[in-house]
């Protein structure tokens, strides 16, 4: 691990300063995105419920139409049966068509009762859909506004993040790519903190004691020393 020649510790510290800010800003912005996403999910859930209500309304409309059509067909049958009734020759035929008319009237009564129930249902569904559509519009406006607000509030953070990313890239150009890789790897493992000071033989990353021999080497600063506990790159600056 100590195969890299004496590093410019100040450069590494600057790199870490940028990394700390990048890590902080990314965390803040991720939270912001999550917040926006949660708002979108809320709106989508409400939208899905609205679609369900619309579907129920459509079903109710169709049910009413179906029954109305059936009633129409039965009306036609009743008219025909009545016509036949006027033309009958025998009592037997008369009884037959009379029963036909009677049966159809009974069926029509039943359908009309059914239709009333479905019309009630349709009316109820229509009201729910209208109410939900209004609520959806209000919620959408509210959520759009909240998301815009969130975006506005995070503009500065986004700009700052770009600045630090640029700065880090600039610093990175002066460093050995393998060192940059090592830095990135350690940072990823340690929550954005890859380069830490050692104070009084204590690693300021994991707050564990550094062996005295290692502490001396860190103080010498001739090579890159990693903390045996947390693998962070150690430096020592007298404060």
Residues that bind Zn ion (CB under 5 A): 203, 205-206, 227, 229-230
DSSP 211: P
What strand order describes the sheet that includes 195-199?
202-203, 195-199, 233-235, 225-226
Shortest reach from residue 19's CB to Zn ion, in Å: 16
> How far apart are alpha carbons 124 and 51 in whole angstroms?
15
| Distance, CA of 27 to CA of 232 (rounded, Å) | 21
Let me know: does 160 contact 20? Beta carbons within 8 Å. Answer: no
Minimum distance between the CB of residue 188 and Zn ion, rounded to whole angstroms?
A: 16
Residue at token pair 């989508």: 44
Nearest to Zn ion of 32, 204 (CB atom) = 204
Cβ–Cβ under 8 Å, residues 218 and 198: yes
Q: Which is nearer to Zn ion, 2 or 40 (CB)?
A: 2
Residue 150 or residue 206: which is nearer to Zn ion going by CB?
206
CB of 193 to Zn ion, least distance (A): 10
Nearest CB to Zn ion, comparing residues 7 and 205? 205
Least Å distance between CB 179 and Zn ion? 18
CB 212, min distance to Zn ion, A: 15
Task: Say how far apart CA 153 and CA 169 lie, in whole Å.
Answer: 26
Residue number with CB closer to Zn ion (214 or 227): 227
209: DSSP letter: B
């Amino acid at each position: 691990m100590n195969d890299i020649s004496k590093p410019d510790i100040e450069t590494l510290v600057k790199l870490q300063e940028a990394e700390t800010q990048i890590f902080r800003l990314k965390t803040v912005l991720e939270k912001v995105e999550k917040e926006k996403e949660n708002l979108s999910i809320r709106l989508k859930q409400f939208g899905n419920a609205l679609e369900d209500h619309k579907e129920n309304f459509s079903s109710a409309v169709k049910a009413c139409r179906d029954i109305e059509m059936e009633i129409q067909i039965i009306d036609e049958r009743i008219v025909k049966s009545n016509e036949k009734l006027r033309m009958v020759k025998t009592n037997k035929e008369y009884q037959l068509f009379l029963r036909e008319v009677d049966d159809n009237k009974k069926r029509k009564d039943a359908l009309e009762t059914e239709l009333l129930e479905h019309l009630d249902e349709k009316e109820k569904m229509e009201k729910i859909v209208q109410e939900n559509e209004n609520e959806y519009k209000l919620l959408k406006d509210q959520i759009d506004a909240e998301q815009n607000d969130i975006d506005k509030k995070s503009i500065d953070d986004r700009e700052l993040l770009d600045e630090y990313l640029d700065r880090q890239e600039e610093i990175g150009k002066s460093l050995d790519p393998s060192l940059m890789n090592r830095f990135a790897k350690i940072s990823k493992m340690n929550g954005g903190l890859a380069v830490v000071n050692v104070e009084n033989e204590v690693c300021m990353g994991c707050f564990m004691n550094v062996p005295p021999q290692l502490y001396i080497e860190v103080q010498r600063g001739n090579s890159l020393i990693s903390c045996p506990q947390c693998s962070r790159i150690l430096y020592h600056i007298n404060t």
